Structure 1
């Protein structure tokens, strides 16, 4: 069995108003990940990805580009042990 990990990602740039959250949710679900994504008041997007390590890393790589109209300035990652289990991948409001 592949190792389960959790990564919280903060993406800055032109990431709100460009379908970043919906596209992230679609991509994470396609990889079978669980967690959430949300807009933050400062204009950035934060996401928590939980699942097999190689799949989490693949979705983080996707986040570096995002959907077509996004423009990523920076991406920060906090790696964590899985401490909470999510039922699915959701958009938090």
Structure 2
């Protein structure tokens, strides 16, 4: 355990920031899960709406430093490809 005042403060800050980071990461994972479920259900309108929410959550996570920018771009690209595949499957 920390003994100096400065190290005690750093320990408190770490606990606080860990909780914030965990909440943000959980929000992103929940949004990704909801998107996958909407795609699985095959509802194009719901999937499109969820895609917009998921992309927003991914972009916010990049701003907050939760995810790397390229990781978020990869997620968005793959989700968009699955959304397009769903729309073409419905059209055919």
Normalising by the smaller structure, the TM-score range is: 0.3 to 0.5
Instruction: Pick the structure with more strand per residue.
Output: 1
Q: TM-score, normalised by structure 2?
A: 0.34
Structure with bigger RCO (C-alpha 8 Å, 6+ apart)? 1
Q: TM-score, normalised by structure 1?
A: 0.34
